[in-house]
Amino acid sequence: MASAKLSAILTQADEDAKMDMSPMIDMVFLLLIFFMVASRMITVRVDESIEPPVADESIPPRDVKGRILFNIRADGTFTVGDGSLTVTEGEITERVIRFRERQEQRNVEASLLLRAHKEATLRDVKKVTKAAAIGGISKVVFGAFQTDR
Protein backbone atom coordinates (compact mmCIF):
# COMPACT_ATOMS: atom_id res chain seq x y z
CA MET A 1 0.00 0.00 0.00
CA ALA A 2 2.86 2.39 0.75
CA SER A 3 4.39 1.67 -2.61
CA ALA A 4 1.15 2.59 -4.42
CA LYS A 5 1.02 5.96 -2.65
CA LEU A 6 4.69 6.56 -3.34
CA SER A 7 4.40 5.74 -7.03
CA ALA A 8 1.32 7.99 -7.31
CA ILE A 9 3.24 10.88 -5.74
CA LEU A 10 6.27 10.31 -7.99
CA THR A 11 4.20 10.21 -11.18
CA GLN A 12 2.37 13.35 -10.13
CA ALA A 13 5.67 15.11 -9.30
CA ASP A 14 7.07 14.33 -12.76
CA GLU A 15 4.09 15.89 -14.49
CA ASP A 16 4.06 19.09 -12.38
CA ALA A 17 7.85 19.60 -12.01
CA LYS A 18 8.56 23.17 -13.11
CA MET A 19 11.33 25.46 -11.91
CA ASP A 20 10.39 28.95 -10.77
CA MET A 21 13.12 31.22 -12.19
CA SER A 22 12.01 34.51 -10.61
CA PRO A 23 14.14 34.04 -7.45
CA MET A 24 17.18 33.29 -9.67
CA ILE A 25 16.64 36.47 -11.67
CA ASP A 26 16.29 38.46 -8.45
CA MET A 27 19.56 36.96 -7.20
CA VAL A 28 21.38 37.88 -10.42
CA PHE A 29 20.21 41.48 -10.15
CA LEU A 30 21.23 41.63 -6.48
CA LEU A 31 24.70 40.33 -7.34
CA LEU A 32 24.99 42.82 -10.18
CA ILE A 33 24.06 45.72 -7.89
CA PHE A 34 26.46 44.45 -5.22
CA PHE A 35 29.43 44.34 -7.59
CA MET A 36 28.59 47.76 -9.03
CA VAL A 37 28.51 49.28 -5.56
CA ALA A 38 31.54 47.39 -4.25
CA SER A 39 33.78 48.11 -7.22
CA ARG A 40 35.88 51.23 -7.42
CA MET A 41 35.90 53.31 -10.57
CA ILE A 42 39.29 54.68 -11.50
CA THR A 43 38.93 57.90 -13.40
CA VAL A 44 41.71 60.24 -14.30
CA ARG A 45 40.61 63.82 -14.68
CA VAL A 46 42.97 65.90 -16.74
CA ASP A 47 43.58 69.61 -16.89
CA GLU A 48 41.98 70.85 -20.11
CA SER A 49 44.43 73.74 -20.46
CA ILE A 50 47.38 71.35 -20.91
CA GLU A 51 48.37 70.59 -24.50
CA PRO A 52 51.01 67.86 -24.26
CA PRO A 53 53.81 67.73 -26.83
CA VAL A 54 53.73 65.27 -29.72
CA ALA A 55 56.21 62.38 -29.53
CA ASP A 56 56.93 60.09 -32.46
CA GLU A 57 58.31 57.28 -30.30
CA SER A 58 55.79 57.42 -27.44
CA ILE A 59 54.47 54.18 -25.98
CA PRO A 60 51.08 53.88 -24.27
CA PRO A 61 51.40 52.86 -20.60
CA ARG A 62 50.58 49.29 -19.64
CA ASP A 63 50.30 49.67 -15.89
CA VAL A 64 48.88 52.84 -14.39
CA LYS A 65 48.87 51.74 -10.76
CA GLY A 66 50.59 53.93 -8.22
CA ARG A 67 50.83 57.15 -10.21
CA ILE A 68 50.48 60.64 -8.86
CA LEU A 69 49.61 63.25 -11.49
CA PHE A 70 51.11 66.73 -11.75
CA ASN A 71 50.58 69.25 -14.54
CA ILE A 72 52.74 72.13 -15.74
CA ARG A 73 50.79 74.84 -17.49
CA ALA A 74 52.17 77.08 -20.24
CA ASP A 75 52.63 79.96 -17.76
CA GLY A 76 54.82 77.79 -15.50
CA THR A 77 52.28 77.11 -12.73
CA PHE A 78 51.96 73.62 -11.28
CA THR A 79 48.61 71.92 -10.71
CA VAL A 80 47.58 68.62 -9.21
CA GLY A 81 45.39 66.14 -11.06
CA ASP A 82 42.50 67.88 -12.80
CA GLY A 83 44.06 71.33 -12.51
CA SER A 84 41.87 72.51 -9.68
CA LEU A 85 44.71 73.42 -7.33
CA THR A 86 47.89 75.37 -7.96
CA VAL A 87 50.80 74.17 -5.86
CA THR A 88 54.37 75.19 -5.06
CA GLU A 89 57.50 73.02 -5.10
CA GLY A 90 57.28 72.45 -1.34
CA GLU A 91 53.66 71.32 -1.63
CA ILE A 92 54.63 68.96 -4.44
CA THR A 93 57.24 67.32 -2.19
CA GLU A 94 54.75 67.02 0.69
CA ARG A 95 52.09 65.47 -1.56
CA VAL A 96 54.63 63.08 -3.06
CA ILE A 97 55.79 61.93 0.39
CA ARG A 98 52.19 61.26 1.54
CA PHE A 99 51.34 59.50 -1.74
CA ARG A 100 54.51 57.36 -1.67
CA GLU A 101 53.83 56.26 1.92
CA ARG A 102 50.28 55.18 0.99
CA GLN A 103 51.57 53.24 -2.01
CA GLU A 104 54.27 51.53 0.11
CA GLN A 105 51.54 50.31 2.48
CA ARG A 106 49.83 48.72 -0.55
CA ASN A 107 53.15 47.30 -1.84
CA VAL A 108 52.86 49.30 -5.07
CA GLU A 109 55.77 51.19 -6.62
CA ALA A 110 54.97 54.89 -6.68
CA SER A 111 55.62 56.90 -9.83
CA LEU A 112 55.02 60.41 -11.10
CA LEU A 113 52.94 61.15 -14.21
CA LEU A 114 54.02 64.55 -15.47
CA ARG A 115 51.80 66.27 -18.03
CA ALA A 116 53.53 69.41 -19.22
CA HIS A 117 52.16 71.91 -21.69
CA LYS A 118 54.12 71.91 -24.95
CA GLU A 119 55.25 75.48 -24.21
CA ALA A 120 56.43 74.71 -20.65
CA THR A 121 60.13 75.23 -20.02
CA LEU A 122 62.68 72.62 -19.05
CA ARG A 123 63.32 74.61 -15.86
CA ASP A 124 59.72 73.97 -14.74
CA VAL A 125 59.98 70.26 -15.55
CA LYS A 126 63.19 70.07 -13.49
CA LYS A 127 61.45 71.75 -10.55
CA VAL A 128 58.70 69.11 -10.46
CA THR A 129 61.05 66.14 -10.95
CA LYS A 130 63.42 67.46 -8.26
CA ALA A 131 60.53 67.94 -5.81
CA ALA A 132 59.35 64.38 -6.57
CA ALA A 133 62.88 63.00 -6.11
CA ILE A 134 63.16 64.72 -2.73
CA GLY A 135 59.80 63.14 -1.86
CA GLY A 136 61.15 59.69 -2.72
CA ILE A 137 59.79 59.03 -6.22
CA SER A 138 62.42 58.38 -8.86
CA LYS A 139 60.24 56.91 -11.62
CA VAL A 140 58.80 59.63 -13.87
CA VAL A 141 56.42 59.09 -16.80
CA PHE A 142 56.00 61.99 -19.22
CA GLY A 143 52.64 62.48 -20.90
CA ALA A 144 52.66 63.05 -24.66
CA PHE A 145 50.43 62.62 -27.70
CA GLN A 146 51.24 59.61 -29.84
CA THR A 147 51.55 60.12 -33.60
CA ASP A 148 50.47 57.67 -36.30
CA ARG A 149 53.97 57.08 -37.59
Instruction: Give pLDDT tens digits for 40-81.
Output: 776 667 777 888 888 887 787 777 788 888 888 888 888 887
- CB count in 10 Å sphere of residue 99: 20
pLDDT at 28 exceeding the cut of 90: yes
pLDDT > 60? residue 1: no
Please give the share of the chain, as a percent, with pLDDT higher than 70. Answer: 87
CATH number assigned to the domain covering 54-146: 3.30.420.270
Residue ranges, CATH 3.30.420.270, the chain: 54-146
Reply yes or no on whether the pLDDT at 134 is more than 70.
Answer: yes
Q: Quick one: pLDDT band at residue 33, thresholds 50, 70, 90? A: very high
Picking from 97, 99, 98, 76, the residue whose alpha carbon sits closest to that of residue 87 is: 76
* Chain Cα centroid distance, residue 63: 10
Higher pLDDT, 133 or 59: 133
Specify which residues 116 forms β-bridges with. 72
- Please give the model's pTM, rounded to 2 decimal places: 0.64
Per residue in 101-115, pLDDT tens?
A: 998 899 988 888 888
For residue 45, report the phi and psi dihedrals to the nearest 5 degrees: -90, 135
